[in-house]
Amino acid sequence: MKRGPIVPEVPNPGQESVWDYPRPPRVEPSTERIVIVFGGETIVDTTDSVRVLETSHPPVYYLPRVAFRPGSLSDARGQSFCEFKGLAGYLSVHGGSQTAPNAAWYYPDPAPGYESLASRVAVYPSAMQECTVDGEVVTSQDGDFYGGWITSRVVGPFKGAPGTLGW
C-alpha cells in the first residue's frame, strides 16, 4: 500500500515525536519503572533500562538480563543484523507454563556507540501478556520486526505498518 507524504503528529507538552528522534539511533538511560508479565508471572520489574530512540520508531527498552526472573530467558535460534548496533542474538521467554519463542533479543558485542546495550535484553511487547512503563500499559509497534513500545508519551506516525517499509 503506497502512502502519501508523512505528516508527523504534533506532540503535546510532555510528549515526544518519534520524528524528532535521530538516525542513527540514540541510546539514553531511563529510570521509568518497567514491568513485564508473561504466563501470569511478573518476569521483570525494574527501574534500570535504556531506551533506543530512532527516527519513526517508538522507543525500544533494553533491560538488564539480571533483572529477568531466573529461568525466564533461554537461548533461541536465529540472528539479525542492525547496521548501527551490530549482530543480535535471540532468546525465548518463559513465564508460568508458557513460552514465547524468539520473543527477545540482545547484542552480545554491540557496535561502537552502543556499548550500553551489552548485558541488556529487549522484548517484543506483542509477545508478552502485558508490558507497562510507569504503570501505563504499552501498545506494541505494528509489524513483527521492530519491537517498539508505544505509550502516551510518544506520537507518530510509527514505522512498522504495511506501506511504511520505505520510511
Q: Which domains does the chain have, with CATH numbers?
A: 16-155 (2.170.150.40)
Instruction: Report pLDDT digits (tens) over 105-153.
Output: 999 999 999 999 999 999 999 999 999 999 999 999 998 788 999 999 9
pLDDT at 79: 95
Amino acid at 7: V
pLDDT at 84 over 70: yes
- Are 44 and 63 in contact, with CB atoms under 8 Å apart? yes
pLDDT at 51 over 70: yes
pLDDT at 4: 66
pLDDT at 44 over 80: yes
DSSP state of 166: T
Tell me whether residue 107 is exposed, middle or buried, using C-beta atoms within 10 angstroms of its C-beta: 0 to 12, 13 to 18, 19 or more.
Answer: buried
pLDDT at 2: 53
**pTM score:** 0.95
How much of the chain, in percent, has pLDDT values that exceed 90? 90
